[in-house]
Amino acid sequence: MLVLNKEGTAGTVVDQSNTAKTMGSGSLEVYATPALCALMEKAACNCIEGCLEEGKTTVGTKLDISHLAATPIGMTVTCTARLIEIDNRRLLFEVTASDGVDTIGKGTHERFIVDAVKFMGKARSKL
């Protein structure tokens, strides 16, 4: 069951694979904004894991974040997502990320509850 203020987390170590230089979002070897976005989505998914009825899942529809500080290779980034709004099938999360020294990102993330089979059928119909 979905409940307000439920939290989920996700973490990763910054390495070559998730730097701005490798991901093409910049030229420096620091944690990439696209990697931060993905980690925030993962934390939101972890927040609601096991809370949806059989056959349902969520898809990300909106991410409004600020990437506030750089994190070098070797540090750990931890993200927390807190469910702050439930509006029928629309879920809104407050997301924050830290590298243990600074808050490196914060904002909101929106997800929608969908029927997995129907959603994939519609997506595949584009082929």
Whether the Cβ atoms of residue 104 and residue 20 lie closer than 8 Å to each other: no
CA-wise closest residue to 104 among 72, 63, 56: 72
Whether the Cβ atoms of residue 53 and residue 86 lie closer than 8 Å to each other: no
* Pairwise CA distance, residues 61 & 102, whole Å: 27
Q: Annotated active-site positions, please?
A: 33, 41, 67
